[in-house]
Amino acid sequence: MSENLRFQVVEEAFKKKAIEVETPKERPSEYFGKYVFTRQKMYKYLPADVYEKLIDVIDNGTRLDRSMADAVAAGMKQWAIEMGVTHYTHWFQPLTEGTAEKHDAFVEHDGKGGMMEKFSGKLLVQQEPDASSFPNGGIRNTFEARGYSAWDPTSPVFIIDDTLCIPTIFISYTGEALDYKAPLLKALHAVDKAATDVCQLFYPEVQKVKCNLGWEQEYFLVDEGLYSARPDLMLTGRTLMGHESAKNQQMDDHYFGTIPDRVQAFMKDLEIQALELAIPCKTRHNEVAPNQFELAPIYEECNLAVDHNMLLMSLMKKVARKHGFRVLLHEKPFDGINGSGKHNNWSLQTDTGVLLHAPGKTPEENLRFVVFIVETLKAVYTHNGLLKASIMSATNAHRLGGHEAPPAIISSFLGKQLSELLDHIELSDKDELFNLKAKQGMELDIPQIPQLIIDNTDRNRTSPFAFTGNRFEFRAIGSEANCASAMIALNAAMAEALTDFKSRVDQLIDGGEDKISAIIDVLREDIRYSKPIRFDGNGYSDEWVKEAKRRGLDTERSCPVVFERYLDEKSIRMFENTKVMSRKELEARNEVKWETYVKKVQIEARVAGDLSMNHIIPVSTHYQSQLIRNVQSMKAVFPADKAERLSARNMKLIEEIAERTEHIERLVEELTESRRVANRIEDIHTRALAYHDQVEPKMEAIRKEIDNLEMIVEDGLWTLPKYRELLFIR
């Protein structure tokens, strides 16, 4: 890039105006789900008996009868063709953190020399993608290519452009899951059964429990021109170098601030298209860091919510480019300011109400509420290392533990009222029922302001797993992650805890103890057992790390080591007992995790070395040469003593540039050699450890030197757009 091109790119970015977005004439409620095969459309396009059977499959989990697949496919095809669709695809979620699709046309030979539109039940229900070409952890060899995608009828089909997208699971020829959806569906089934059994201790009429999920998607926007001028952003999703701007987020003026016009236009366009795909967008706002924003929907059933989040992330990237932006979903694209997360608001709901809602109308309802709170704590405590592994990645590791995100220690915040109640139950020797306080009113000394209704608990923004009124907020998930990873681990752990609770209560009842006493006795045991996971203090403090270790919580920060928690015997036992994943599937997934970690750090290391040698050092030495010529000119013009005095600053800069560039060259050589050594390690786990312990630290050392050079070298020579240019949309 020439020395003036960076400024041209920045100037062009600042000149861009908001694109006018045509608002549909209908209200959002009227175009919501326009491109989704909703129940209303099912009723219209399917025979009545087929519609009833399909709804039974969706609502009650009955097995899909393949005999009705042709009728469903015919109805879908008719609707899709009327909407201008020409192709269909099985849309699935392989272990790449993204989605996959292969498009086929609705065409077959008609037997008369022409073509006809055709879409059969067989094509709807099952297809055969190449299983060896996706990450599989050794389950499938390259020469063993067969795998299957199978329709998930609980997530409705939808239209993108001219293609009918059919949500599916993805499994190997031998039956192992090669995706996120298959184990998620199994985990949701496990928690449904276990939670229903426990609910029936209180309410025999309960027949089903579903998991609800409400995600909060944070993201950054940068101008497309500036993005294209940063090879590190393009290739890795984050800036591998860059001195922080003099002004970033320290004034707290961006959070909830006025949304810039261009961003507002992007958000409006995104929301319209998302609503047409039945993604129930609710909230939008500026986040803490400059150029950082958030979108959040109304909660949905967990499986559908996961699908919608994956669809939205793809849609965001497409819409952003239309508006001259690039979306950054990396958890830490910029150093020195907040990264991005994806808070997962998790709750359980029966066909009669929300299980985590309090206070209840009766002491029995309050007891039911406390049982589910405590068993959640038990699940999180028992598997706190596994839950951390479920949200850990090479990218999220940069965010966790900073003063912006939950620490890399899983703990749970309950608030004063709930904590005091659990302490009371634990210490009491009575089998007493109890009442919980309803929300209280607060009168302000401002006559015009109505009474405020205050929640029973405050929020703790440092808690990775906080109770927030009628749900738990799992705040540690990263912005580019598939929510299913965390939801698989959490729901499977919850199913295990509830199953164990019910078994122990039944044993006491069979031994002659009355039901309420048995419930409270087991509850008291689990309150004591799970107490170490409860923490209401400052999760950012150094004291908490020491205290967490004392409590026996997992405080490991190394990403490759954290992944090992999936292969702990208690993790394997939990996944196998709940029938969510087998040992073989877990081992394969860890192979994929370690391999993905290695590849991401490897790419970053290569880009860092390339930028150092081909951008930073040439620019720095060019400026150094200018300084040298300036010093030589001074010596030619001024007397020796005066020239020495006037050129002293330049001499100091010349020396500093020489030392820093020499250090960078040496570090790049060491970085390259450490990669070579790591790449020769055959075992992928050991190789991942080598990349974490040997490669990453050298990248950080290189960055430190480059960021210092950025503050020395003349601004007009620096080729890479700087933070002050990247982070403030005009």
pLDDT digits (tens, 9 = 90+) for 297-310: 999 999 999 999 99
Instruction: Name the 3-class secondary structure at 130.
Output: strand
Q: Could you tell me where the DSSP H helices lie in 327-391? A: 363-382, 384-391
* Mean per-residue pLDDT of the chain: 91
Compare 249 and 592 and report the one with higher pLDDT: 592
Are 252 and 305 spatial neighbours (Cβ–Cβ below 8 Å)?
no
What's residue 461's pLDDT?
A: 63
Asked which of 92-101, 480-489, 499-508, 562-571 is least confident by mean pLDDT, the reply is: 92-101
Kindly report the pTM of this predicted structure.
Answer: 0.94
CB 723 within 8 A of CB 244: yes
**10-19, 113-122, 229-238, 463-472: which has the highest mean pLDDT?**
229-238
What pLDDT does 188 receive? Answer: 98
Strands 87-91 and 163-172: parallel
Alpha-carbon gap, residue 390 to 402, rounded angstroms:
19
- Locate 487 and state its tokens: 């939801």
Maximal C-alpha separation, the chain = 106
Model confidence at 439, pLDDT cuts 50, 70, 90, reads: low
pLDDT at 449: 43
What is the arithmetic mean of pLDDT over 220-224?
A: 96
Burial category of 143 from C-beta neighbours within 10 Å (exposed 0-12, middle 13-18, buried 19 and up):
exposed
pLDDT, position 456: 53
- Cβ partners under 8 Å of residue 121, min gap 6: 66, 68, 69, 70, 71, 72, 73
For 216, phi then psi, to 5°, come to -125, 105
CA angle 547, 564, 333 (to 5 degrees): 80
Average pLDDT over residues 30-56: 96
Separation between Cα atoms, residue 159 and residue 722, nearest integer Å: 40
- Stretch 413-432: mean pLDDT, rounded? 83
Query: pLDDT by residue (tens digit) across 363-379?
Result: 788 889 899 999 999 99
Say which DSSP state 105 is in: E
Query: Quick one: pLDDT at residue 8?
Result: 81
Residue 650: φ, ψ to 5°: -65, -40
Checking if the pLDDT of 453 tops 80, the result is no
pLDDT digits (tens, 9 = 90+) for 521-553: 999 999 999 999 999 888 888 889 899 999 999
pLDDT one-digit tens code per residue, 324-365: 999 999 999 999 999 999 999 999 999 887 888 776 777 788
Give the pLDDT confidence of 482-502 residue by residue, as tens digits.
999 999 999 999 999 999 999
Backbone torsions φ then ψ of 424, nearest 5 degrees: -65, -45
pLDDT at residue 443 in the model: 53
Confidence at residue 361, expressed as pLDDT on a 0 to 100 scale? 73
